């Protein structure tokens, strides 16, 4: 049996999948390891929702008053920060009241 890294759910190998913390193309462009974790289906869906809300490929540049594309390094930092925030959120959910 495998265990979900985020919620600690134990499941069969088909229920727990390997997820890349950084998309592989971003990791390659930034020269970083994509990093993998085991996630259950529920946590994977929830993480994708977090990523779609928190990670943007563009940033506003106040000096030019325009949006610009983020560099691979900036995207990698944003993906990593969002994953850390997600795992901290899941950890708080597990604590008994």
- Give the chain's residues under pLDDT 50: none
**Cα 38 to Cα 4: distance, rounded to the nearest angstrom:** 5
Q: How far apart are CA 27 and CA 21, in angstroms?
A: 9
- Return the pLDDT at 1: 86
Q: What is the pLDDT of residue 96?
A: 64
- pLDDT at residue 43 in the model: 95
Tell me what pLDDT residue 30 has: 94
């Amino acid at each position: 049996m495998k265990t979900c890294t985020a919620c600690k759910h134990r499941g069969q190998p088909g229920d727990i999948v390997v997820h890349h913390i950084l998309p592989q193309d971003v990791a390659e462009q930034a020269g970083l390891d994509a990093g993998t974790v085991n996630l259950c289906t529920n946590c994977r869906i929830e993480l994708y929702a977090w990523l779609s809300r928190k990670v943007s490929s563009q940033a506003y540049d106040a000096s030019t008053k325009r949006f610009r594309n983020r560099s691979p390094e900036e995207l990698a930092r944003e993906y990593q920060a969002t994953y850390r925030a997600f795992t901290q959120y899941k950890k708080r959910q597990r604590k008994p009241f």
